Structure 1
Amino acid sequence: MHARQEILGSAAVLLSAVSGSAAAQSACPPGAPQVIVYHAGSLTAAFSQVEKLFTAQTGVCVVDVAAGSVDAARRVTAGKEPCDIYASADAEDIDALLKPAGYADYSITFAQGAMVLAYNTASKNASTIAAPNVAFNPPAQVPPVASDWYSQLTQSGVLIGGSNPFLDPSGYRSDLIFQLAERRYQVPNLYNTLVGHYTLTRTGDVLGKNFDYQFTYEHSAYAAYLANPQSYRYASLPPEIGLSDSNLNRRYRQVSIEIPGLHTEHSQASVRLPATRVVWGLTILKGAPNEANAVKFLQTLFSDEGRKIQQSTGPTPIVPPVVSYADLRDLQPALRGLVRPVRDER
Structure 2
Amino acid sequence: MPTQRSGSGRSRGRGGSSGVTRRGFLSSTGAAGATVLASALGGCVGSPGSVAGVGASGGSDEPVSVLAAGSLQLAFSEGLRAVVGRPLQVEAHGSVTAARLVAGERRDPDVVALADTALFDGPLATDWHATFATNALVVAYDEGSEGGRRVGEADRWFDPVLAGEATLGRTDPDLDPLGYRTLFALDLAGEYYDRPGLREALVEPRQVYPETSLLSRFETGDLDAAVVYRSMAADRGYDHVELPDAVDLSDPSRTEEYAAVSYDLPSGETVRGAPVEYGAVARRDGDRVAETFDALVAGDYLADHGFALPESYPEYSGDVPRGLRP
Q: 1:130 Cα shift?
A: 3.8
Match status 1:332 vs 2:321: yes
Amino acid at match of 2:290: V
1:166 aligned partner: 174
Q: 1:222 Cα shift?
A: 1.8
1:121 aligned partner: 143
Query: What does 1:19-58 align with in structure 2 at a 5 Å threshold?
Result: 32-48=61-77, 49-56=79-86
Q: 1:64 Cα shift?
A: 1.9
SS of equivalent to 1:273 = strand
SS of equivalent to 2:217 = coil
2:40 aligned partner: none
SS of equivalent to 1:76 = helix
Task: Select 1:106's aligned residue among 111, 128, 136.
Answer: 128
CA distance in 2, matches of 1:114, 1:88: 15
Amino acid at match of 1:120: D
Say whether the 8 Å CA contact 1:120–1:126 is kept in structure 2.
Answer: yes
Q: 1:86 Cα shift?
A: 1.1
Bigger RCO of structures 1 and 2 (CA < 8 A, at least 6 apart) = 2
Match status 1:310 vs 2:318: no
CA distance in 1, matches of 2:279, 2:95: 10
Structure 1 outlier segments of 4+, above 6 Å: none
Say whether the 8 Å CA contact 2:100–2:123 is kept in structure 1.
Answer: no
Match status 1:246 vs 2:252: yes
Q: 1:74 Cα shift?
A: 0.9
**What whole-Å deviation, never above 9, does each CA across 1:43-75 have from its counterpart, x for those lacking one?**
12322232343244xxxx433211111111111
Q: 1:198 Cα shift?
A: 6.4
SS of equivalent to 2:172 = coil
Q: Which runs of 5+ in 2 are unaligned?
A: 1-57
Q: 1:244 to 1:175 in 2, by over 3 A?
A: same
Say whether the 8 Å CA contact 1:295–1:332 is kept in structure 2.
Answer: no
Q: 1:275 Cα shift?
A: 1.4
Match status 1:296 vs 2:291: yes
Amino acid at match of 2:83: L
Amino acid at match of 1:114: A
Say whether the 8 Å CA contact 1:97–1:271 is kept in structure 2.
Answer: no
1:95 aligned partner: 121
CA distance in 2, matches of 1:336, 1:124: 54
Match status 1:177 vs 2:177: no
SS of equivalent to 1:277 = coil
**Identity between Structure 1 and Structure 2 (%):** 27
TM-score, normalised to structure 1's length? 0.68
Match status 1:210 vs 2:218: no
SS of equivalent to 2:109 = coil
1:66 aligned partner: 92
Q: 1:320 Cα shift?
A: 3.8
- Paired residues, number: 264
Q: Which segment is superposed worse, 250-259 or 162-171?
A: 162-171
Q: 1:117 Cα shift?
A: 0.7
